[in-house]
Structure 1
Amino acid sequence: MTRADAPSTHRLGWTLATLAGWMAITFLGAWLFHPGEESLDELVTSGISWQLVAACIFLVAMIRWQGWHDLGFRSPAPGTLRLLWLPLLMVGLLLLLAAAAGLPPISAILFILVNTLVVGFSEETMFRGVLFRTLWGRMSVWPAILVTSVLFGAVHVLNGFITGSFGNAMAQAVLAGCSGILFVAILLRTGSIWVAIVYHALWDTATFLVVAGALTSDEATQASETASVGGVAATLMPLLLVLPNLLYALWLLRKVHKDPPPGAQTL
């Protein structure tokens, strides 16, 4: 019997230990690499976030050690990618806004691409992979979805220790919790966590491009005003586009408690 087949209490304990380790690496690592207060857009545009890379390595090691082979690292079920038409449309709208605001330098764009891909893998593997699969083994699917999404949103409050702005961190937590429902809907409807990882990365990339473009489009003499506008954009722009995604996610999940979607039983 593999560790994945062990009693659910044993698996829950290791899942919570994995979550604690992931949080320590992600947030304490951010403090070690960036001891001063920095905005999230500064962090993702100024270099590679090595603490996130370390968190990914930690997750892969834990998954291999525990033998968790049911997390959805597989190809999507045939014909399910077309369900992403609305989420991809939302990403497209964000990219149009980014282009209108003015794109940041190419170096910043490259760092955004790398960091958001790492974030997508790290957060999806931890929450929609390890945590959700464990919770689904102990409760019905909707409680597992809600607990996972609430916890996913809650950890974003810890960004306040990095940025120094707990108001923005609370807003990010709400947005992340709503987005988490879409990510789990993508996982369940496609049967593949890879699709959720890629979409998560695309969403974050588009969001940071909007914010970074807004922050670099003004003159240096307007720096303080720009920072304020950037903070508003970081909250309001995703908020306007998260709601359609949330409603669509609820529609995708409308029958999940009755008729598991393709690939759901074999995640």
Structure 2
Amino acid sequence: MKTQAKQVNPSLARFTDKRPVLSVVIIELLLLVAMFVAGAFATIQELSYTAPVLIAFIPISIVLIACLTWKKSWGRYGFRPLSTIPARNWMYYLPLVLALLIVALNGFRSFTIKEAMFFVFFTLMVGFVEETVYRGLILHILLRHKSVTAAVLTSSLLFSVTHVLNMLSGQSAEDTLVQLVYALLTGAALALLIVKNHNIIPLIIYHFIHNLIQFLGQDGRGVSVWDYVILVILLLHCLWLMFSLKKNSAVPGVSGSTKEMA
């Protein structure tokens, strides 16, 4: 059954309730500005390529943890026990496992324990921040006021837009285009999964493992046929999830979507 949003006095309503679109725009702009400023500082100081993310994401993660704890809203944004996911719904994560296996096919470079530990921290932080912002805050705000389709598309497009910054790193146009489409389809699949299961933990785990494999993988690899295979998998994954949600919503007493993740 659809969750009915509480009737709130307009004068007492939260800013995100009164201005949902503006709230999403502000969140996205704040993240982009933080990344731009951190990138500019790292460039001037000639810091390592991971420095911009560290400079921007460490304070962001601290703020997110503090706010979610202070407002006791972890569950609202999908931080729930994995046991809350119905056993039959775990099959919807299998395409992500397949994508990880394909990413790992490129092999791994040699690395030290210290380097591995750093990238575990780095990629876990990135996974936490990006999933909390896009599949937590932004998607949650949009689902309260917009359709599932609009919420998923908007959050996915914004997630993809943040990767435009990679164009500044000098990579080829093909690499950038594939990365943007990759981010768009990944964002859509993950957004549909949280609409399906209301749990952000598996998404953070996937994001973390995916990025960790890439950082510890072989250097200097451009776009390959396997990247296009993953794009097809993600596209089919999105279609599968959309069909599942539509099918569930057509069954009396069963909702494949929700206007609000309580």
Same fold, TM exceeding 0.5? yes
TM-aligned CA deviation for residue 35 of structure 1 = 3.5
1:75 aligns with 2:81: yes
Separation of aligned partners in 1, 2:63 and 2:172: 27
TM-aligned CA deviation for residue 185 of structure 1 = 2.4
Separation of aligned partners in 2, 1:23 and 1:59: 16
One-letter code aligned to 1:72: G
Separation of aligned partners in 1, 2:128 and 2:67: 14
CA contact (8 A) 2:78 2:136 kept: yes
Query: 3-state DSSP class of the match of 1:137?
Result: helix
TM norm structure 2: 0.76
Name the residue aligned to 2:235.
246
Aligned residue-pair number: 242
TM-aligned CA deviation for residue 187 of structure 1 = 1.5
RMSD: 3.4
Separation of aligned partners in 1, 2:130 and 2:114: 24
Name the residue aligned to 2:27.
18
Name the residue aligned to 1:28.
37
Separation of aligned partners in 2, 1:67 and 1:24: 27
Separation of aligned partners in 2, 1:66 and 1:17: 20
Change (3 A) 1:114 1:28: same
Separation of aligned partners in 2, 1:153 and 1:117: 19
TM-aligned CA deviation for residue 151 of structure 1 = 1.5
Separation of aligned partners in 2, 1:31 and 1:5: 34
TM norm structure 1: 0.75
Separation of aligned partners in 2, 1:142 and 1:178: 14
Per-residue CA deviations over 1:5-49 (Å, capped at 9, x if unaligned) read 6672334433432222222223321331343789xxx734x8982
CA contact (8 A) 1:4 1:66 kept: no
Work out which of the residue numbers 33, 50, 54 in structure 2 matches 1:49.
54
Separation of aligned partners in 1, 2:13 and 2:151: 18
One-letter code aligned to 2:49: L
Query: 3-state DSSP class of the match of 2:77?
Result: coil
Separation of aligned partners in 1, 2:36 and 2:71: 24
CA contact (8 A) 2:140 2:261 kept: no
Higher relative contact order (CA 8 A, sep 6+): 2
One-letter code aligned to 1:253: M
Separation of aligned partners in 2, 1:240 and 1:36: 39
Name the residue aligned to 2:164.
157
Per-residue CA deviations over 1:199-227 (Å, capped at 9, x if unaligned) read 111112223333xx2x2xxxxxxxxxxx4
CA contact (8 A) 2:143 2:258 kept: no
Name the residue aligned to 2:4.
none
Would you tell me which structure has more helix in proportion to its own residues?
1
TM-aligned CA deviation for residue 166 of structure 1 = 6.8
TM-aligned CA deviation for residue 61 of structure 1 = 4.6
Note the residue ranges of structure 1 that are not aligned, 5 or more in a row.
216-226
Note the residue ranges of structure 2 that are not aligned, 5 or more in a row.
1-7, 250-254
TM-aligned CA deviation for residue 130 of structure 1 = 1.0
Instruction: Map 1:203-222 to 2 at 5 A.
Output: 203-210=210-217, 213=218, 215=219
Separation of aligned partners in 2, 1:16 and 1:121: 20
TM-aligned CA deviation for residue 115 of structure 1 = 1.5
Separation of aligned partners in 1, 2:23 and 2:216: 37
CA contact (8 A) 1:48 1:114 kept: no
CA contact (8 A) 1:178 1:246 kept: yes
Percent of aligned pairs with the same amino acid: 22
1:86 aligns with 2:115: no
Query: 3-state DSSP class of the match of 1:131?
Result: helix
One-letter code aligned to 1:88: V
Separation of aligned partners in 1, 2:200 and 2:45: 34
